[in-house]
Amino acid sequence: MVKAYSQEHTYKHPWERVTSASWRKFADPENKHTLSHILQVDTLNHKLEPESGKLYTTRAITIHAPGPWYDPHPDNPNEWTICRQETSIRIKPLSTLASMAEKIEQKCVDKFLQNSAKGREVMERMCKYLEAESSSRGISV
């Protein structure tokens, strides 16, 4: 049996801010305990561009979950972002273990839902942080 799950969530923030928050959430030490599916974050390279003051960082992120994808929301593309996540879980048991396999699949789906909810909370916090940071500097992110 296959347990499949998909969900959508609308962030009331523009796509640029949400995607920036998505990258920052992995590097924020506060999120390590909340987002238990993040296994490792390694900085491969970083470079400061002297003229603009921009810091460019290349990271390798290892997560134990399918990643979400973000698109500008079709109803309000300049102000909102839609997030989509999908997962499917399949355990191939012997026929005598089918009921146990179903329970394990359901536990996996439940864990996916819990991690998704935690991820949304972190993303909202990161978006609000970026919004406050950009308004204090007078820039739009």
| pLDDT of res. 65 | 67
Residue 21 backbone dihedrals phi, psi, to 5 degrees: -65, -35
Domain ranges of the chain: 2-36+68-137
Q: What's the pTM? A: 0.64
Where residue 1 falls among pLDDT bands split at 50, 70, 90? Answer: low
Closest residue by Cα to residue 79 from 32, 15, 27: 15
| pLDDT of res. 112 | 82
What lies within 8 Å, CB to CB, of 141 at 6+ separation is 16, 17, 20, 130, 131, 133, 134
pLDDT tens digits, residue range 28-60?
767 666 676 677 778 888 899 999 888 888 877
pLDDT tens digits, residue range 64-102?
666 788 999 999 999 999 999 888 777 776 666 777 777
User: Looking at the predicted structure, is the pLDDT value of residue 26 above 60?
Assistant: yes
Beta bridge pairs of residue 61: 41
